[in-house]
Amino acid sequence: MDERGWTEVEERIEAALRSRSPALRRQLRLLIQVLDWMPLLRYGRRFSALGAEARTEVLKRLQRSPALLLRRGFWGLRTLVLLGYYGRPEARRAIGYLADPRGWEARRGMTAGEGTGDEA
């Protein structure tokens, strides 16, 4: 993605978090800090300083972690990232996602070229 795309992802995540409690946002910040420092013991570097291959390995380990709290936090963070990415109109078009807030009414009145999710 270009810089504009990443900005959109961040804006969507921030918008989703605004409606959450301050306590949940603090927990998320703490989780991100923990995730950044965790690889230090194994790789000698923080997550933010790792290469793509090492980052992938760290994330794979986290999603299968025996620590339930850590695993839940990871999946919550993953969900936010997916929300930010797939919530963008470009991503919806790219995967052919046709859902519309108007529900089936939108499909009944659709003409050729519509249905990108940008109409509402």
Which tens digits make up the pLDDT trace of 21-77? 999 999 999 999 999 999 999 999 999 999 999 999 999 998 898 999 988 998 999
Write down the H helix ranges in the chain: 3-18, 22-37, 40-43, 52-63, 68-86, 89-95, 104-108
pLDDT at 119 over 60: no
pLDDT on residue 112: 47
Q: Is the pTM of this model over 0.85?
A: no
Instruction: Please tell me the distance from the alpha carbon of residue 57 to that of residue 64, in angstroms, as a whole number.
Output: 11
pLDDT on residue 111: 54
